[in-house]
């Protein structure tokens, strides 16, 4: 199967061949394969998954949905759309389901590239999906983060020109874990959407105290919000997410989907429906994540590894002052981390797993 890891590996091979990316990033990909071949149990701290999920309610609902999986259950998707609409105080027409928010990001990329132009995005952020926009003809304009690794909203705003078709804001940002101040983001959206479309990715917002910007879409056709069940709800492997936008925008976007709302399964929808009822699981996840994140940051800083304060289930840190081979240490301890995101400062990211996993991670580095 051509998944993101394989794609990354193939791309990395090509890019490493050209001498463009650091070898650490490459070494990590081959190491994962080695570990998988040996069938060693891995500590997966790479993809910002929720180590506690799916919730018990979701597991039971998914199991119970198996017999209904012989049918295209549109009614069930309609029920989920209705529940999500209630949660955000919107109507069903404001929503579009996708197989993970990745499908939504991809759709937005296609939607905004109907006319040629440019796409404004931070560097560094979650940008795998922009390949679609670039292939469809949009030119990517990357705006550096501020020194404290936040979106530089004013620089992004100043970069808008007559050809700008889309601006992407990942809030909180992956991989840096930083968040935009509410008021500044609101002003940015109000002003930027007068000139172009803005996509706000709220994949990790539930780990923060900030409310969703969902309510803004009733009045604003140029704002699209992407949300996912992969993170706080622990359903990454189930592949379910959604877009929130003005009904006209949703209608136009849905025309680019093979079957509107049709790429989700009976099992994933059942899991998502049950997850929305499991507030206790969400609260526990937040609590456990906060504890393990605090521990991880304290321990990394004891090792002179500088960390960026995180609002998410991952931490961004600089390996500049770490004098061992970080990726070798992970490899020796069967831990999957990720790559170097920024060569200057040697910035990398680690997902917050369980406390036991984070203790093993720290032990591996000492």
List residues binding ligand PLP (CB under 6 A): 47-48, 100-102, 126, 170, 174, 201, 203, 228, 230, 236, 241
- 189 HSE (CA, 13 A, CB side): 27
Q: Taking the complex as a whole, how short is the minimal distance between the CB of residue 47 and ligand PLP, in angstroms?
A: 6
Cβ-based neighbour number of residue 18 at 10 Å? 8
| Residue whose token pair is 């990394």 | 300
User: What is the enclosing helix (H) or strand (E) of 143?
Assistant: strand 138-144
Q: Taking the complex as a whole, how short is the minimal distance between the CB of residue 54 and ligand PLP, in angstroms?
A: 13
Please say which residue, 48 or 318, places its beta carbon nearer to ligand PLP.
48
d(CA 271, CA 278): 11
User: What is the enclosing helix (H) or strand (E) of 201?
Assistant: strand 197-201
| Long-range contacts of residues 111-118, Cβ cutoff 8 Å, at least 24 apart | 111/252, 111/253, 111/256, 112/138, 112/165, 112/166, 112/197, 112/199, 113/137, 113/138, 113/165, 115/165, 116/163, 117/163, 117/164, 117/165, 118/161, 118/163, 118/164, 118/165
The answer to whether 45 and 357 have CB atoms below 8 angstroms apart is: yes
The answer to whether 190 and 200 have CB atoms below 8 angstroms apart is: no
Please say which residue, 235 or 297, places its beta carbon nearer to ligand PLP.
235
Q: Taking the complex as a whole, how short is the minimal distance between the CB of residue 174 and ligand PLP, in angstroms?
A: 4
Q: Taking the complex as a whole, how short is the minimal distance between the CB of residue 6 and ligand PLP, in angstroms?
A: 16
Please say which residue, 308 or 365, places its beta carbon nearer to ligand PLP.
308
Please say which residue, 109 or 203, places its beta carbon nearer to ligand PLP.
203
Q: Taking the complex as a whole, how short is the minimal distance between the CB of residue 228 and ligand PLP, in angstroms?
A: 3
Chain-centroid distance, C-alpha 173 = 8
The answer to whether 166 and 138 have CB atoms below 8 angstroms apart is: yes
Q: What angle do CA 136, 138, 139 make, to 5 degrees?
A: 140
Q: Taking the complex as a whole, how short is the minimal distance between the CB of residue 262 and ligand PLP, in angstroms?
A: 17
Q: Taking the complex as a whole, how short is the minimal distance between the CB of residue 241 and ligand PLP, in angstroms?
A: 4
State which residue has the least CB distance to ligand PLP. 100
Q: Taking the complex as a whole, how short is the minimal distance between the CB of residue 186 and ligand PLP, in angstroms?
A: 20
């Amino acid at each position: 199967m051509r998944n993101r890891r394989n794609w990354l590996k193939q791309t990395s091979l090509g890019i490493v061949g050209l001498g463009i990316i650091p070898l650490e990033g490459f070494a990590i990909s081959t190491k994962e394969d080695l570990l998988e071949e040996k069938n060693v149990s891995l500590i997966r701290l790479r993809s910002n998954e929720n180590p506690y999920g799916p919730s018990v309610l979701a597991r039971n609902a998914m199991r119970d949905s198996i017999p209904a999986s012989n049918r295209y259950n549109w009614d069930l998707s309609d029920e989920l759309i209705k529940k999500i609409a209630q949660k955000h105080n919107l109507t069903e027409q404001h929503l579009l389901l996708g197989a993970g928010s990745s499908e939504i990001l991809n759709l937005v990329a296609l939607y905004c590239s109907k006319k040629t132009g440019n796409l404004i995005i931070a560097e560094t952020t979650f940008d795998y999906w922009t390949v679609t926009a670039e292939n469809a003809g949009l030119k990517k304009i990357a705006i550096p983060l501020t020194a404290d690794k936040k979106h530089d909203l004013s620089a992004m705003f100043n970069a808008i020109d007559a050809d700008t078709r889309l601006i992407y804001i990942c809030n909180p940002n992956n991989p840096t874990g930083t968040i935009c101040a509410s008021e500044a983001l609101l002003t940015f959206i109000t002003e930027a959407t007068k000139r172009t479309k803005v996509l706000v990715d709220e994949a990790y917002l539930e780990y923060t105290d900030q409310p969703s910007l969902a309510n803004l879409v009733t009045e604003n056709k140029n704002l699209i919000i992407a949300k996912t069940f992969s993170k706080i709800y622990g359903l990454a492997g189930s592949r379910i997410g959604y877009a929130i936008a003005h009904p006209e925008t949703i209608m136009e976007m849905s025309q680019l989907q093979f079957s509107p709302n049709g790429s989700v399964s009976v099992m994933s929808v059942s899991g998502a429906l049950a997850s929305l009822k499991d507030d206790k699981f969400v609260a526990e996840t937040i609590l456990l994540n906060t504890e393990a994140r605090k521990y991880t940051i304290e321990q990394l800083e004891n090792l002179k590894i500088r960390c960026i304060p995180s609002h998410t289930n991952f931490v961004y840190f600089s390996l500049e002052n770490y004098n061992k081979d970080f990726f070798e240490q992970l490899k020796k301890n069967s831990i999957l981390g990720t790559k170097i995101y920024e060569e200057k400062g040697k910035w990398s990211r680690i997902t917050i797993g369980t406390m036991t996993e984070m203790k093993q991670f720290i032990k591996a580095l000492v």
